[in-house]
Every structure is written in structure tokens, then in C-alpha cells.
Amino acid sequence: MAQVASGFESLITIDNTKVDATLTNYPIMVKLTSGNFDFSTVRTDGFDIAFYDNSDTLLAFETEYFDKPTSSGVFHVKIPSISSTVDTTFKMKYGDNNAVDLSNKAGVWDSNFVMVQHMGTSLLDSTANGNDGTNYGSTVVDGLNGKGRVFDGTNDYIEVPNSSSIDLTKNLTITILQKIDDNTPSINNSLISKLTDGSNKQFSLDVLTTNTMSMEYERSANNFSVSSSLALDVSYNLVTLSIDNLLDFRVYKNADKITTDTSASSETLQSVEPISIGRWGGTYNTRYYSGEMDEVRMSNVVRSDAWIKADDYNLRLNSLLTIGA
């Protein structure tokens, strides 16, 4: 921490050894705790905290959560380019009592992001697409990063109305930070699903009774599924599904690609059905998720292995960056 004319600034360093390829317009999470930040130097509302590049140009950032009494803050900052060969640095400035809120959450999430739900007290989509959620029973709790939501496995879910931005059948990535309650669920749990009608799934990402991951993608009688044999941890997992233009499917646990399959015979259908977070909709709506979710993101591109690895270091392990003293 260095004192400057308008308060203080700290240098934030992104570890290049945890970045396998250059990342463009990457929304990096900055998590403040009593262990890496002195909360006595900031205002109660946190509006004095802002992020800048090394030329002192303001970077787009979102304040997901800030609570000075509990020494907790979660921000997302759009970094134009992150190098895989040298450390990337940027600045956090704070401590100006006359500061105004400079956050710009829609500016953080570029057009490749179609929905970002932080699963906290608000279910407003952080992107400019307005894919807001409606809560049906899930409860706000302290999460891994700020706040999360707990689903009871009985009837809790969140519904996001259909829109053209999320009505995707290929060229998509879904990323969910979650922690399941039971490592031997009695029924299949759905993390997220979208149907084409009452029973056929446009896509779904599920936890099976074996506590392993599965995705389903179906058109009429052509039900295509990809399953893994690698069990989820009872602690937090970052699970990711991607479907590319050739209908190649990939499922990840944390940074590990646990399943790749190229055998889908036909593209599923678009529909007017909503996205359900925490359940299989339609005729499968008894299969509810039991556990916590801390983040749900959906993109209209296939994220690279390097991107997913960076997400794991950033969102699950909180070790992608360090905040200077």
C-alpha cells in the first residue's frame, strides 16, 4: 500500500505461471479480506475503491459485494490482456473520502458473456442482456466469494426467462461454482437446464447419484449424454460445460477436462423455455439440486482450456493474483 495525493494505491499482480495462453478481456475477481487488505483505510460504502491500469486509465469493474464490518469485498475487473509469459499488473486506488462510485458492471462483461449470476442477494444479470433470475426458495448464505445461494433439494430453484441471448444450442460455455451437500445423492441433481419442450433437454448439466458430472443434449428420440467417472469434491468445485460448432462436448471439473465427446448426431432445438438453475424443468422437475452455488456464468463462445484454468485459480482457489502490501 502506497499513500498518494488522493488516498492510497496497491499494485495487483497476476501470476503468469497460472496462465497458459494470452487472455483477452478477462474479468478477474479481486477478493479483499482482512488478510490482504486494511479495511480501516476505506469508506463504509466502498465507493472509494477503483481499479486502473499502469497508465492510470480507469478499468471497468463491478462491485459484487462489499461489507466493511466483516472485512469482505468482491470485485470483478476487466483486464484487456493477460500475458502467459510475464506477470500482468494493475492498480487498486482507495481512501478518497470525496470519491464517487466509478463501477460499471456491464462494462466488465463483454458481448461473449450472455448471463452472469453471482448468486448473492441480487439475481440481476451482471451483463447488459438483462437475463435476470426469479427466486423460488433458494436462500442467501455466506459463500466462497461474498454471498452464495443454498438449494434444499426439494423444491428450490431459480428461473431465468428465455431470451435470444441464452437460447443457445452450440458455441456455448456454462461455468458454475458449486458445493454439493451430499456426495451420494439419492437422485440426479440438476445444476442448470433448458428444455425444448416438456421433456427433451436443449442442454442440462447434472450431478448423478454417483456424484459424477453428466450433461444431456437431446432432440426428440436422439438423447445424447456425456458422463464422467471423476467424482466431485464435497468442498467447492468449478464445473464447466462447453459445446462447440461441430457439436463437440467438453465437461470440466476445476481445471481438468474430464470428458470430451464428439458423437452428437444432431443439433438440438431452440425453444421458448426458460433456464432453470437448480432443477430439471418440465416432467423432470422433481430432480432438484441440493447444495450451494456461488457463481453461474454463460457465454456464447467456447472458452479455451487456458481460460477455464484461470477461472479455477481465480474463482475457486483465489490464487491467480496477489495484492501488494
pLDDT digits 0-9 by tens, 270-279: 677 899 999 8
Residue 12 bridge partners (DSSP): 90, 323
Give the model's pLDDT for residue 266.
Answer: 58
| Banded model confidence at residue 221, pLDDT cuts 50, 70, 90 | low
Residues in the chain: 325
**pLDDT exceeds 60 at position 223:** no
Q: How far from chain centre, in Å, is Cα 238?
A: 8
Return the closest-CA partner of residue 234 out of 185, 295, 296, 176: 185
How many angstroms separate the CA atoms of 275 and 74, rounded? 26
DSSP SS3 for 18: helix
**pLDDT exceeds 90 at position 115:** yes
pTM assigned to the model: 0.93
**pLDDT exceeds 70 at position 146:** yes
Task: Name the least confident of 43-52, 89-98, 214-223.
Answer: 214-223
Domains belonging to the chain, first-starting first, are 2-109 (no CATH), 113-300 (2.60.120.200)
Output the average pLDDT for the chain: 88
How many angstroms separate the CA atoms of 230 and 253, rounded? 8
Phi/psi region, residue 214 (left: phi>0; alpha: psi -120 to 50; beta: rest), is beta
Name the phi and psi angles at 76, rounded to 5.
-125, 125
Give the model's pLDDT for residue 166.
Answer: 92
How many angstroms separate the CA atoms of 236 and 220, rounded? 35
**pLDDT exceeds 80 at position 60:** yes
The predicted model gives 238-257 an average pLDDT of 87
**pLDDT exceeds 60 at position 131:** yes
What pLDDT digit, counting tens, does each position of 150-190 carry? Answer: 999 889 999 999 999 998 888 999 999 999 886 656 667 88
Give the model's pLDDT for residue 257.
Answer: 84
Give the model's pLDDT for residue 184.
Answer: 59
Taking the CA atoms of residue 73, residue 78, residue 80 and residue 81 in that order, the dihedral angle to the nearest 10 degrees is: 50
Give the model's pLDDT for residue 322.
Answer: 98
Asked if 324 and 32 count as a contact pair (C-beta separation under 8 A), the reply is no
More confident: 321 or 169: 321
The predicted model gives 298-317 an average pLDDT of 97
Cell matching residue 266: 444432431
Which residue's entry shows cell 445424447? 224
More confident: 286 or 102: 102
Top-confidence range, 74-83, 184-193, 253-262: 74-83
How many angstroms separate the CA atoms of 168 and 288, rounded? 23
More confident: 286 or 191: 191
| Banded model confidence at residue 268, pLDDT cuts 50, 70, 90 | low
Give the model's pLDDT for residue 2.
Answer: 53
In the chain, pLDDT over 90 holds for what percent of residues? 66
Q: How far from chain centre, in Å, is Cα 88?
A: 22
- What's the alpha-carbon Rg for the chain, to the nearest Å? 20
In the chain, pLDDT over 70 holds for what percent of residues? 85
| Banded model confidence at residue 316, pLDDT cuts 50, 70, 90 | very high
Give the model's pLDDT for residue 52.
Answer: 98
The predicted model gives 233-242 an average pLDDT of 90
Give the model's pLDDT for residue 182.
Answer: 66
The predicted model gives 215-222 an average pLDDT of 60
